[in-house]
Amino acid sequence: MIRAFAVAAALTLVAACGSTPAQPARQAVSVSVADPAGGGRVTLPKAPERIVCLTGLCDDILVELGLVPVATTTPKLLSRPDYLGARGAEVPVVPGGFGSEDVAAIARARPDLVIGLAGVHDQLRAAVEKFAPLWVVRVKSYEDSIAYLRAVGALTGRAGQQAQAERVFRTKVADGKAAARAKGLAGVPVLAMYGGSGSVGVNTTDDVLGHFLSQFFGYPWPSKGGGFETAQAYSLEEILAKGPQVIFVQSFSFGGGKAVTETYREHPVWRRIPAVGAGRVFEVRPELWASGRGTRAFGLILDEALSKAAG
């Protein structure tokens, strides 16, 4: 049963009873890991082999480690060719809304670990922990994503794969910063925003995606404080005042709804935004930009952002 997680990763060997000199004792191996967000330590009776992912960060981490979740809530992410491709389409999908997933479906996957998102899946703890530990992760920067990659790598005995994935990503970040400077993009005001059903929000620097983009571009979008809705609720007038020259839009279109760029195409304020007038507003895939949260997603996002911003 998980209560919280500490800030370290280690293996604890628990010796079995009844050994004799002629018959060496078998050892049952338990594993213990740390949550970068702080808290107490969790110990599992063995390395988890059946992990259910309720957040894209979990799927991202497992793919980086060469693993496949036994069930997921982000099938579009997993089935991308740069993730699992056709294999991802075969992973069972957990039905239900984000934060209100079908617990019975999670149980049917027979998990020995369920990974969700803090602030979203905490309410499922009592129900889920009747059959499996629930680990809720919290990320505000890509360094948090790396730390969780390390923790899951330690839990699953995949430290080698973790180290390789981290090296690749850190090299990509360093190269990306150099490329942004060389192309004159480091000070260019850029915006990542999202919308659906007639409303929009901004990925602020307090958000993991906004924080990541701020490492490469000018990114004048601090959190506005308060709860989630308040913190990211920039109006079109406020966006215009900051004059972004490049905009990346994640459109969440439900039931055939219009994309953000289509919804606001004729809006007089929208049309005055520099990026809009210059034709530098780009619709991007929400399953990657909004759901990934891990090192693989951020590497792909960086490639796309630099390419579009420089084009």
Q: Which of 31, 82, 91 lies closest to 60, judged by CA?
A: 82
Confidence grade of residue 41 (pLDDT, cut at 50, 70, 90):
confident
Distance from first CA to last CA of the chain, Å, rounded? 51
Distance CA 22, CA 25 (A): 9
Q: How many domains, the chain?
A: 2
Distance CA 181, CA 198 (A): 36
Residue 112 and residue 32 share a domain: yes
Q: To the nearest 10°, report the CA torsion of 203, 266, 240, 309.
A: 60
Residue-wise pLDDT tens digits, 162-180: 999 999 999 999 999 999 9
Q: What is the model's pLDDT at position 11?
A: 33
Residue 206 and residue 267 share a domain: yes
Q: Residue 29 sits in which domain range?
A: 10-16+23-164
Residue-wise pLDDT tens digits, 30-40: 888 777 777 66
DSSP state of 290: T
DSSP state of 98: T
Residue 279 and residue 177 share a domain: yes
Distance CA 307, CA 29 (A): 47
Global pTM?
0.88
* Those residues with Cβ within 8 angstroms of residue 244's Cβ, 6 or more apart along the chain or in another chain: 189, 190, 191, 273, 274, 275
Residue 72 and residue 184 share a domain: no
Residue 214 and residue 189 share a domain: yes
Residue-wise pLDDT tens digits, 76-118: 999 999 999 999 999 999 999 999 999 999 999 999 999 999 9
Residue-wise pLDDT tens digits, 206-260: 999 999 999 999 999 999 998 777 889 999 999 999 999 999 999 987 656 789 9
User: Average pLDDT for residues 263-273, to the nearest whole number?
Assistant: 95
Distance CA 93, CA 102 (A): 10
Structure tokens at 297: 């997603």
